[in-house]
Amino acid sequence: DARVTQTPRHKVTEMGQEVTMRCQPILGHNTVFWYRQTMMQGLELLAYFRNRAPLDDSGMPKDRFSAEMPDATLATLKIQPSEPRDSAVYFCASGSSNQPQHFGDGTRLSIL
Amino acid sequence: AQSVTQLGSHVSVSEGALVLLRCNYSSSVPPYLFWYVQYPNQGLQLLLKYTTGATLVKGINGFEAEFKKSETSFHLTKPSAHMSDAAEYFCAVSPMNTGFQKLVFGTGTRLLVSP
Q: What is the DSSP string of chain A?
A: ----EEE-SEEEE-TT--EEEEEEPPTT--EEEEEEEETTTEEEEEEEEETTEEEE-TTS-TTTEEEEEEETTEEEEEESS--GGG-EEEEEEEEETTEEEEE---EEEEE-
pLDDT tens per residue across span B7-36: 999 999 999 999 999 999 998 888 899 999
Per-residue pLDDT band at A9 (split at 50, 70, 90) = very high
Query: Taking CB atoms and an 8 Å cut-off, how many pairs form between chains A and B?
Result: 48
> Model confidence over A50-62: pLDDT tens digits?
999 999 888 898 8
Compute the mean pLDDT over every residue in chain B, rounded to the nearest whole number. Answer: 93
Cα separations (Å) of B87 from A23, A107, B2, B39, B82? Answer: 24, 19, 25, 5, 11
Query: How far is Cα B76 from Cα B105, in angstroms, rounded to an integer?
Result: 15
Residue B58 is predicted with a pLDDT of 96
Burial class (CB in 10 A: 0-12, 13-18, 19+), A73: exposed
Residue B21 confidence (pLDDT): 98
Residue A35 has pLDDT above 90, yes or no: yes
Would you call B107 and A42 a contact, using CB atoms and an 8 Å cutoff?
A: yes
pLDDT band at A29 (very low <50, low <70, confident <90, very high): very high
Asked if the model's pLDDT at residue B111 lies above 90, the reply is yes
Q: How far apart are CA A20 and CA A54, in angstroms?
A: 18
Nearest to A103 among B44, B100, B108 (CB): B44
How many Cα atoms within 13 Å fall on the side-chain side of residue A28? 6
Share of chain B above pLDDT 90, in %: 78
What is chain A's mean pLDDT, rounded? 94
Q: List CB contacts (< 8 A) between A88 and chain B.
A: none
Q: Tell me the average pLDDT across B78-102.
A: 89
Whether residues A96 and B100 touch (CB distance < 8 A) is answered with yes
Task: Tell me what the mean pLDDT of segment B39-62 comes to.
Answer: 93
Using CA atoms in the order B70, B57, B94, B100, what is the torsion angle rounded to 10 degrees? -150
Cβ within 8 Å, pair B101-A95 = yes
| Res. B99: pLDDT tops 70 | no
B35: burial class by Cβ within 10 Å (0-12, 13-18, 19+)? buried
Looking at this protein, which amino acid is placed at residue B83?
A: M
- B93 pairs with which residues across the strands? B33, B104
Q: What is the mean pLDDT of residues A74-86?
A: 97
Distance (Å, rounded) from C-alpha A52 to C-alpha B80? Answer: 43
Cα distance from N-terminal residue to C-terminal residue, chain B: 41
**B99/A43 Cβ within 8 A:** no
